Amino acid sequence: NAGVTQTPKFRILKIGQSMTLQCTQDMNHNYMYWYRQDPGMGLKLIYYSVGAGITDKGEVPNGYNVSRSTTEDFPLRLELAAPSQTSVYFCASSYHQPNTIYFGEGSWLTVV
């Protein structure tokens, strides 16, 4: 049972580069989310999706983009990386009535 899978696990980017964090889930969940966690802080919602073709902004969306072409996949795109985007990124998913949320193991991103 794979659950929520994120890749890559670690990545170092130079300022101004772009990259995509991949997320896939095999639980047939409608809802998917991207959070970021800064050191010593809680998680903050970047973007979320309630189903294929539907996405919306969370609390901290600036500098990111998402797409949801299938139920399983929810990639997060970073355009023109900035040092402020150095963080740990978590993808998560849940059923249509989001009670328990299942998290991936995280992607550590450093922008230098």
Partner 1 sequence: KQEVTQIPAALSVPEGENLVLNCSFTDSAIYNLQWFRQDPGKGLTSLLLIQSSQREQTSGRLNASLDKSSGRSTLYIAASQPGDSATYLCAVRPDAGGTSYGKLTFGQGTILTVHP
Chain residues binding partner 1 by CB under 8 A are 4, 31, 33, 40-45, 48, 50, 58-59, 90, 92, 94, 98-106
Rounded to a whole number of angstroms, the minimum distance from the CB of residue 32 to partner 1 is: 8
Q: Which of 14, 99 has the CB closer to partner 1?
A: 99
- Residue pair 75/67 in contact (Cβ under 8 Å)? The answer is yes
Rounded to a whole number of angstroms, the minimum distance from the CB of residue 15 to partner 1 is: 26
Radius of gyration of the chain (CA): 13
- Residue pair 106/89 in contact (Cβ under 8 Å)? The answer is yes
Interatomic CA distance for residues 62 and 33, integer angstroms: 15
Rounded to a whole number of angstroms, the minimum distance from the CB of residue 79 to partner 1 is: 24
Rounded to a whole number of angstroms, the minimum distance from the CB of residue 56 to partner 1 is: 8
- Residue pair 8/105 in contact (Cβ under 8 Å)? The answer is no
Residue among 112, 103, 111 at smallest CA distance from 6: 103
